[in-house]
């Protein structure tokens, strides 16, 4: 049952956070349009996860947009010769940071929303248990929301966009709990930055570590196969 029939564009990487964010948008009654960016990322296998999530959530329209960020490089996720760190988080912004990625992706989400006549967009950023990326901070999301109206027709007709980041202040364990409450199969979502042969997750990159710790804390079921175990 829809509480509203408003359209929303959800940014769906195929990871745990975007899966839960999209499911929350669906529960809120939005008519969903899912956008996945194929940025030629090291872990492109996450796009298969995005497809499975779209099917599971009955999302009617899914755009998988190729955008080859390897042309720019500058990240372990877009350059094969920069290794993904496996030793656990440090204090600095890690080399898995992709320059301006969330700005680029949110801008594309907004572009599609404007073309559709949608005023709501969802992104699964998280600012508590994350890798310290600058473009996951609440002040970035707030700044983007302000700019959205200047960048589009919305400013001219008095309407404004809402950028929903429902996981922003949640711990990873709370996100796992939310996935369980929403009856989502955790193994459907792909988190690993550095897929191993046979498409197993490495278990040791920051993204695997955050997920594994949260799943263990909650005591949730996650059928993901890790190559190091």
Contacting positions for a second copy (CB under 8 A): 63, 65-69, 71-75, 93, 97-104, 107-108, 110-112, 114-116, 134-135, 137, 139-140, 143-144, 146-147, 150-153, 155-156
Q: Which is nearer to a second copy, 9 or 208 (CB)?
A: 9
Is residue 158 helix, strand or coil?
Answer: coil
Q: How far is the CB of 163 from a second copy (least distance, A)?
A: 12
Q: Which is nearer to a second copy, 112 or 226 (CB)?
A: 112
Q: Which is nearer to a second copy, 40 or 196 (CB)?
A: 40
Q: How far is the CB of 203 from a second copy (least distance, A)?
A: 27
CA distance 220 to 83: 30
CA distance 140 to 204: 28
Instruction: State the angle between helix axes of 172-181 and 206-218 in degrees (0 to 180), rounded to the nearest 10.
Output: 60
Q: How far is the CB of 210 from a second copy (least distance, A)?
A: 20
Q: Which is nearer to a second copy, 28 or 100 (CB)?
A: 100
CA distance 120 to 145: 10
Return the beta strands (E) in 92-198 as ranges.
120-122, 162-164
Q: How far is the CB of 116 from a second copy (least distance, A)?
A: 8
CA distance 229 to 225: 8
Q: Which is nearer to a second copy, 1 or 156 (CB)?
A: 156
Is residue 210 helix, strand or coil?
Answer: helix
Q: How far is the CB of 160 from a second copy (least distance, A)?
A: 13
Q: Which is nearer to a second copy, 66 or 219 (CB)?
A: 66
Phi and psi (nearest 5°) for 222? -145, 110
CA distance 194 to 44: 10
CA distance 115 to 102: 20
Q: How far is the CB of 103 from a second copy (least distance, A)?
A: 4
Per-residue DSSP letter, 114? H
């Amino acid at each position: 049952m829809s509480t509203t029939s408003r359209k929303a564009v959800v940014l769906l990487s195929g990871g745990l956070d975007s899966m839960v964010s999209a499911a929350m948008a669906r529960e809120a009654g939005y008519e969903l349009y899912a956008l996945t960016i194929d940025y030629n990322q090291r872990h492109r296998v996450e796009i298969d996860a995005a497809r499975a999530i779209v099917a599971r959530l009955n999302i009617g329209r899914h755009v998988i947009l190729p955008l080859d960020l390897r042309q720019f490089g500058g990240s372990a996720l877009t350059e094969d010769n920069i290794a993904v760190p496996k030793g656990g988080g440090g204090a600095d912004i890690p080399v898995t940071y992709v320059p301006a990625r969330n700005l680029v992706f949110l801008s594309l989400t907004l572009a599609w929303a404007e073309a559709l006549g949608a005023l709501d967009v969802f992104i699964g950023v998280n600012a508590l248990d994350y890798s310290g990326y600058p473009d996951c901070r609440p002040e970035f999301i707030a700044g983007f929301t302000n700019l959205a109206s200047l960048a589009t027709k919305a400013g001219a007709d008095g309407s404004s966009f809402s950028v929903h980041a429902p996981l922003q202040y949640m711990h990873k364990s709370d996100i796992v709990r939310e996935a369980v409450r929403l009856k989502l199969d955790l193994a459907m979502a792909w988190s690993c930055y550095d897929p191993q042969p046979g498409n197993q997750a490495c278990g040791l990159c920051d993204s695997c570590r955050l997920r594994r710790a949260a799943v263990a804390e909650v005591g949730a079921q996650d059928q993901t196969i890790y190559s190091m175990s």
